[in-house]
Structure 1
């Protein structure tokens, strides 16, 4: 795919956030800071087929706005996004680019796409920004959704919008959220009316060392020197390291069913961890697990798209034995 851009890589900002968090308001304020001599571009993604947000942005000279309608550019086929982005860059040759995914998007997947080798000469990725609605932090049904958590984990900068409308319960929930995500070493900023300075988010993107690999028991069966197969579907295992913390996770097919009490016992038996979070289909229904060293919480959960588990340690850990025990908790046919 041919790109016609300036010789210098363009700074690119991804502004993510759950539905109604205030992403577009933040984007409008950032666009108001454009130097007069520059051209800035915006790629917006609406989940539906009718674009609304584009009409809310400045239409003056110096801005180029393009919408990608229908679906999510983070998780659907990459081709529409690749084409839309290439066309936007070729036609406008902007000095700076903003990308606003749908509130139903997974920004980490978009970031993976835009940091692939063929984009690196053209795009200078900046720190990923996620906007959360501070006035809704007290609503655990809202803030504990898996997608909400995925967006927060991807962020390096978290803008807490509607800070002027936060209640005492919201403030308490914010403190708990910051403590929960402390291993991710994020910068948190309270804002009102979307007022965020460009200098506050114009920080370099720093990717974490992440390896998505086959399950450890599969890797163990490979002959010496044989490369692990490329991961194209579930199940898989990953390890992510950042700022001295080690995060290990598993994503497994939705059809896998686990024995609830065996799984609960296994998780409760682990030692020296900082955080355990998971959601599983069990023989007692869908269950979510949210453990911190002070409290082991688990409850019935809505049906999820897959089984998943994430454990945070502050040191390296040997995971093969744990994964073997985890697989032994399955009650389905084992395929």
Structure 2
């Protein structure tokens, strides 16, 4: 595909967030800061077939807004997004670009697409922003969803919207959330009425320290340092005295529920275990902290996944032994 863009790389901001978090309100406020002589562009993605958010943005000269309707540009085929973005760049030659994925999107996947080699000379990725609704942080049914967690983990900056409506319970939940996500080294901002200065988010995208690699047992015979994107894979990352080890495994893999539960309960010296698995008892989510082991039925996931957080060097642990034990829990191990 031929890509035509402005002579220099364009700063690109991804504004992510769960449904109703306040992404469009924040985006409108950011757009109001456009210098008069510049042209800014917005690529919006709505899950439905009728676009609404585009009508809420400025329509005057100096702005170019394009919508992708139906589906998710993060998860579906890359081609519609690639074409729409290429056309937007070539037709408007913007000085700055904002991308607002649907609230049902996985921004990390979109970021992977936009950091591919063929975009690097055209796009200058800035810190990925995820907006969370501060007034709903007390609602555990809302905040424990896997997609919500995915969007938080992908963020370099987390903008807490509706800060003026937060209750004491929300403030307490925010403190707990910050503690939970310490290993991801994010910058948290509290925002009232969408008020955020563009300079607060106009910082370089730092990339991820979590390199995805083949499963540990596969690395005994394969290239150990191969960075991959397809399932299955594992990663380990450390920051600020914390470590996170994670695995993502194909959705078609089915696990014995009680074997899996026993394995997780046997682990020691961890701070948090979170996962969702396709089991012979249906889809199950696990949310363990040192005070309470919670597990329950869950909605069908997009894959099997687990993360374990420790307050020590994860590299010193025998992750191969854990992974082998995890694979022994598979019901469909012949696949």
Q: TM-score, normalized by length of structure 1?
A: 0.93
Q: Does 1:291 align with 2:288?
A: yes
Q: CA deviation at 1:54?
A: 0.8
What are structure 2's unaligned runs of at least 5 residues?
Answer: none
Contact 1:208-1:240 within 8 A present in 2 as well: no
| Superposed counterparts of 1:169-188, under 5 Å | 169-188=169-188
Q: CA deviation at 1:240?
A: 3.9
| 2:130 alignment counterpart | 130
Q: Does 1:75 align with 2:75?
A: yes
| Superposed counterparts of 1:1-335, under 5 Å | 1-222=1-222, 233-242=230-239, 245-313=242-310, 314-315=312-313, 316=315, 317-335=317-335
| Range with bigger deviation, 305-314 or 232-241 | 232-241
What are structure 1's unaligned runs of at least 5 residues?
Answer: none
| Range with bigger deviation, 126-135 or 324-333 | 324-333
Query: 2: distance between equivalents of 1:64 and 1:41?
Result: 4
- Deviations along 1:277-328, one digit per CA (max 9) or x if unpaired, are 1011223332211123343322222222221111233412432111101111
User: Residue 331 of structure 1 aligns to a residue in which SS?
Assistant: coil
Q: Cα RMSD over matched residues?
A: 2.0
Query: 1: distance between equivalents of 2:34 and 2:112?
Result: 27
Q: 1:183 to 1:291 in 2, by over 3 A?
A: same
Contact 2:44-2:100 within 8 A present in 1 as well: yes
Query: 2: distance between equivalents of 1:174 and 1:227?
Result: 38
User: Residue 213 of structure 1 aligns to a residue in which SS?
Assistant: coil
Q: 1:140 to 1:323 in 2, by over 3 A?
A: same
